[in-house]
């Protein structure tokens, strides 16, 4: 496995890799969710490149950029284990060289939910994803459904800018008790982790109700609120939305998505599930 730290090293490494290339953009602190993306990329491409870059522009000033976990040696070992060919782990100035002055701003699916709670976050994501895709030029890029809104923002930007890459969305990986894997789960105390389960339980309860015939999105949102409030979680949003536009829906006649963001102590968690009405 090659580790490239600079754009020049990346170019040299890319020239040696057989195509097609699958890219897995990450911020490191790799867990089983990231590794599932890398394995899928491994199965579908001749080469796999994984990027590790804690992107400063997608963090708000009060957020956890400084304390975000950066276990690089462990990440490299895990990447090698799952058959990654190339890791691009650049310092900030390789991604944003002096004079860098461009941002990529996606409206549409960015406008609600995370876009409201974390203003500017998706511009940071869209800018770095565009930059990384242009540096790696992969045939495919793999993103987790755990960050469902991010996935739709990336799909929108790739379509709007006609970037020559296929975006592959991959299912959320969960602990056996349902908690969606996240690099931020390490911040949870055992007691907080237990209470955090109310989020996935609320979302899955909503999915069960929809499968049983419930179509009223507001009733489902109220139900989800009851679940998470009973566990003492602070709600940023719990919403039933169109799976592509991320606009709220009122009646579930077609597949929709339930999205949630809650705070458990100082830790903010997001999750989502598909809502599939009976035929
Ligand atoms: O999902 C992430 O880890 C990040 O938002 C991404 C896509 C790597 C961009 O920094």
**21 close to 47: Cβ distance less than 8 angstroms:** yes
CA distances from 182 to 30, 68, 212 (A): 9, 12, 30
Residue nearest to atom 9 of ligand 1 (CA): 125
Residue nearest to atom 5 of ligand 1 (CA): 125
Q: Give, for ligand 1, the residue of 51, 56, 58 to mutate: max count of ligand atoms closer than 8 Å to Cβ.
A: 58
- Is the peptide bond preceding residue 20 cis, with omega within 30 degrees of 0? yes
- What atom in ligand 1 is closest to the CA of residue 27? 3
Dihedral class, residue 273 (left if φ above 0, else alpha if ψ from -120 to 50, else beta) = beta
Q: List pLDDT tens digits, range 176-215.
A: 999 999 999 999 999 999 999 999 999 999 999 999 999 9
CA of 223 to the centre of ligand 1 (A): 31
CA 60 – CA 41 distance, rounded (Å):
31
CA of 128 to the centre of ligand 1 (A): 8
Q: Which residues are catalytic?
A: 34
Going across the sheet that includes 47-52, the strands are: 2-4, 86-88, 47-52, 21-26, 140-144, 166-170
pLDDT value for 34:
98
Residue nearest to atom 6 of ligand 1 (CA): 26
CA of 265 to the centre of ligand 1 (A): 24
pLDDT value for 84:
99
Q: Give the residue from 75, 100, 89, 104 showing the smallest Cα distance to 136.
A: 89
C-beta 30 within 6 A of ligand 1: no
Q: What is the b/e burial string over 1-12, where b = at least 16 CB atoms within 10 angstroms of the residue's CB? A: ebbbeeeebbee
Question: Which residue shows structure tokens 């929108």?
Answer: 156
pLDDT value for 187:
94
Q: List pLDDT tens digits, range 103-159.
A: 999 999 999 999 999 999 999 999 999 999 999 999 999 999 999 999 999 999 999
**40 close to 77: Cβ distance less than 8 angstroms:** no
C-beta 123 within 6 A of ligand 1: no
pLDDT value for 164:
98
Q: List pLDDT tens digits, range 63-72.
A: 999 999 999 9
Residue nearest to atom 3 of ligand 1 (CA): 26
CA of 99 to the centre of ligand 1 (A): 23
What's the chain's average pLDDT?
98
Q: List pLDDT tens digits, range 237-247.
A: 999 999 999 99
Q: What is the b/e burial string over 107-127, where b = at least 16 CB atoms within 10 angstroms of the residue's CB? A: ebbbbbbbbeebebbbbbbbb
pLDDT value for 142:
99
pLDDT more than 90, % of the chain: 100
pLDDT value for 87:
99
219 token code pair: 């009733």
CA 187 – CA 269 distance, rounded (Å):
11
């Amino acid at each position: 496995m090659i580790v490239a730290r600079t754009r020049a090293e990346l170019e040299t490494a890319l020239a040696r890799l057989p195509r097609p290339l699958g890219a897995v953009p990450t911020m490191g602190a790799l867990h089983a969710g990231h590794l599932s993306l890398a394995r899928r990329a491994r199965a579908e491409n001749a080469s796999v490149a994984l990027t590790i870059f804690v992107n400063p522009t997608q963090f708000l000033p009060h957020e956890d950029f400084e304390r975000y976990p950066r276990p690089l040696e462990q990440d490299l070992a895990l990447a090698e284990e799952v058959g990654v060919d190339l890791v691009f782990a650049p310092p900030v100035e390789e991604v944003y060289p002096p004079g860098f002055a461009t941002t990529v701003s996606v409206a549409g699916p960015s406008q609600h939910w995370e876009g409201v709670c974390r203003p500017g976050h998706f511009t940071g994501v869209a800018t770095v994803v565009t930059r990384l895709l242009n540096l790696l030029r992969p045939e495919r890029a793999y993103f987790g459904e755990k960050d469902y809104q991010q996935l739709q923002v990336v799909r929108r930007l790739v379509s709007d800018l006609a970037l020559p890459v296929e975006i592959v969305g991959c299912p959320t990986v969960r602990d056996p008790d349902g908690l969606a894997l996240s690099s931020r789960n390490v911040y949870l105390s055992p007691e907080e982790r237990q209470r955090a389960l109310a989020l996935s339980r609320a979302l899955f309860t909503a999915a069960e109700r929809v499968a049983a015939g419930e179509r009223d999105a507001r009733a489902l949102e109220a139900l989800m609120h009851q679940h998470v409030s009973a566990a003492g979680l602070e709600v940023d949003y719990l919403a039933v939305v169109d799976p592509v536009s991320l606009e709220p829906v009122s009646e579930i006649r077609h597949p929709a998505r339930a999205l949630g963001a809650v705070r458990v102590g100082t830790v903010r968690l997001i999750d989502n599930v598909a809502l599939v009405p009976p035929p």
